[in-house]
Amino acid sequence: MNQHLDRHEAKKNLRRTIRRQRQGLTQPFRSQAAAGFRSGLDQLCQELPVGPVLAYLPTEQEPPLRPALEKLQLTRQVWLPVVQPERQLLWVRWSPQTRFRPTGPGGLMQPVGPALPAPQRPALVLVPAMAIDDDGVRLGMGGGYYDIFLADLNGLAEANRDCVPPAAQVACVFHQEVLPTGAVPADPWDARIPMVLTERGVRDLSA
């Protein structure tokens, strides 16, 4: 078996383990975690320039970000992704009136509304993840959408670095899903995320 297939199988096994762990989290823990994510996101946004936030609404098993995002959208534009062909993402601005339909992969709920390219000069990108290691190697869901989007975003920031400040990129996981260096199998195209938000706060992985 070649190295790519080895890594592919290792990622599948790690995703399976994390899904099982997430299914075992209790509701009291999740409620407490939601408060931690809200506090951490509040603190993070206080340190960032004014600008839109590219976020996502979590599924039941993912870190409970929704209370934090509901508060955030009162003071900032919050945009949610809509998947497109060829692993592309467009974005819909979220408001309390936004409706959702199960139009994403596997019936994933997606916002209904004008789907547009990412707004210029986002201040923050919240990146869904199943795990991340201490070097910022992210384990995603396997679709590759964010790897492509973040590569494009980083390329744009590099091309305009004299006039466009780069968006802060922050992976969102539970604290137990921040793993030691090398614990997340990495392919060359996998995005590396410099910061992580957990129920215990924000951590800079690039330091």
116 is in an annotated binding site: no
56 is in an annotated binding site: no
Q: How many residues are given for the chain?
A: 207
60 is in an annotated binding site: no
> What CA–CA distances, in Å, run from 104 to 49, 81, 92, 109, 116?
31, 10, 14, 6, 16
72 is in an annotated binding site: no
Q: What is the CA radius of gyration of the chain?
A: 16
89 is in an annotated binding site: no
14 is in an annotated binding site: yes
d(C-alpha 119, C-alpha 138), whole Å: 24
1 is in an annotated binding site: no
11 is in an annotated binding site: yes
25 is in an annotated binding site: no
Residues 85, 15 contacting (CB under 8 angstroms): no
139 is in an annotated binding site: yes
62 is in an annotated binding site: yes
**Which residues are annotated binding-site positions for substrate?**
57, 62
**Which residues are annotated binding-site positions for ATP?**
11-15, 138-146
**Which residues are annotated binding-site positions?**
11-15, 57, 62, 138-146
